[in-house]
Structure 1
């Protein structure tokens, strides 16, 4: 199983999602449309609430995919489903272009020792636990691979922890992420989340 999970992770760099539309939106139009979004995600894409994701600097393709998933019900969130229901594909691409053009604010880690533990898992994984390195899909600087593998650099640790737990418990569907997180303890998940919050995005 370890080889299967590792192969899936390494293969993520070369996967082509032929069904995903490339986001080529209008950032100015996205800014105009973002009035409702900024109430939670912040006017600069950096949310004040650590339970809500920062969208600043996130890959446009990934944002579009998540909005489509909220709209279709593939990803469950009552608030976001309601918001996405009123968005056209063009709206989604414009919003994605706007938020992806912003700069994520990296505030640094809250627990240096916990971050060191998270760094070991993020960069090296664990053969004993059959957990592949996070950077195999998300990159050494947390930049990710659009549209499937998001940027995680500078993301709120609390939000990342909530999402990793959701993958682990099957509340958020993703076969690769479930296979990895189900082998991690809650403390290990927290450690990785804390480490990612301090990652500076690649220039």
Structure 2
């Protein structure tokens, strides 16, 4: 078993020169995962882990700028976890206090990690436009431990589980109301390609190594910021490139809209355009989603169109392996039960290629 896992990790981490040592350190809990069609080890490209002992560069005082903004901030300012850098204040409603500043000393600003406009990044989640009730439920699941992760060493997920225990119900509602009021801007460029740039792990996500070399994509999604420095500056207008295997978007469309004979089509619950539904149409779900389950959970169902494919794969994998539970996952369990990793990649590629 260990030899098999070692071989798989070696292959999947190709091109990520800092990733493999960290994954070996994290291997023990991963080996405890139950066997599943998608495999028993979290895919390294989806669960990027910062290398041990990595040190952030020092702030030399240089002012940073991003496109279409007059604001100027130092590196120390964009690293302040109790401030959400607001590069484009006219592009969204006034920031809610918990989103803008958090609550010192325990609660970081929600907009620090998820950005001022809720766009997030491959390392966490885009929360803009998600239903308020859904966000509140996810925070409750993080708090109770129902929502965990297949790679507990990853800081973004650890932080969410810790913060959920410190936030007050009023603060959760405040953040949920703000993020749900936003519309997710198009931030994904999904490109089918059999060759991709070599990458490394930077801030719990992949980044372009910028050495001019390419490698086969294999069975992976390679998602990275188009402009790394813009993303490091926590600009909510950052755009991401997601390289996916050739043919994956069309295969994902077939799975999402028909089930492909081995799963329940995503469009029943997430809507025909995968932008989410306020409630489940139990009549449409009859014979496809267990009636007792559907009647017990009416929604809302989050939109997945135009969101990070890396994030989507992590959620499918976590639900399949039982580490993400909670009210909404009762509908997802039969959907993901027979999915292979290729299926997950195809579904994520298709969903992310759509307009949010």
* 1:151 and 2:303 matched: yes
Equivalent residue number for residue 190 of structure 2: 109
Equivalent residue number for residue 346 of structure 2: 191
* 1:80 and 2:177 matched: no
Q: CA RMSD in A?
A: 1.9
* In structure 1, C-alpha distance between the alignment counterparts of 2:185 and 2:345, rounded to whole Å: 20
Distance 1:142 1:176, change over 3 A: same
Aligned mate of 2:98, from 7, 15, 33: 33
TM-score where L is the length of structure 2: 0.45
Equivalent residue number for residue 44 of structure 1: 117
**Is the contact made by 1:51 and 1:156 (CA closer than 8 Å) also made in structure 2?**
no
Describe how 1:17-32 pairs up with structure 2 within 5 A: 31-32=96-97
Equivalent residue number for residue 59 of structure 1: 131
By relative contact order (CA 8 Å, sep 6+), the higher-ranking structure is: 1
Equivalent residue number for residue 123 of structure 1: 257
Displacement of 1:133 in angstroms is 0.6
The structure having more radius of gyration, on CA atoms, is 2
Describe how 1:91-102 pairs up with structure 2 within 5 A: 91-102=171-182
The superposition leaves residues 119-143 of structure 1 with CA deviations (integer Å, 9 ceiling, x where unpaired) of 111111122x2x1110101001212
Equivalent residue number for residue 324 of structure 2: 172
Displacement of 1:182 in angstroms is 2.1
**Is the contact made by 2:270 and 2:276 (CA closer than 8 Å) also made in structure 1?**
yes
**Is the contact made by 1:122 and 1:133 (CA closer than 8 Å) also made in structure 2?**
yes
**Is the contact made by 2:275 and 2:302 (CA closer than 8 Å) also made in structure 1?**
yes
Displacement of 1:148 in angstroms is 4.8
Structure with the higher strand share, 1 or 2: 2
The superposition leaves residues 41-90 of structure 1 with CA deviations (integer Å, 9 ceiling, x where unpaired) of 1111111x313110111111100110111122221243112111122222
* In structure 2, C-alpha distance between the alignment counterparts of 1:61 and 1:110, rounded to whole Å: 33
* In structure 2, C-alpha distance between the alignment counterparts of 1:165 and 1:148, rounded to whole Å: 21
Equivalent residue number for residue 200 of structure 1: 355
Equivalent residue number for residue 13 of structure 1: none
**Is the contact made by 2:146 and 2:323 (CA closer than 8 Å) also made in structure 1?**
no
* In structure 1, C-alpha distance between the alignment counterparts of 2:338 and 2:300, rounded to whole Å: 21
Displacement of 1:38 in angstroms is 1.6
Structure with the higher helix share, 1 or 2: 1
* In structure 2, C-alpha distance between the alignment counterparts of 1:143 and 1:96, rounded to whole Å: 18
SS in 2 for 1:110: strand
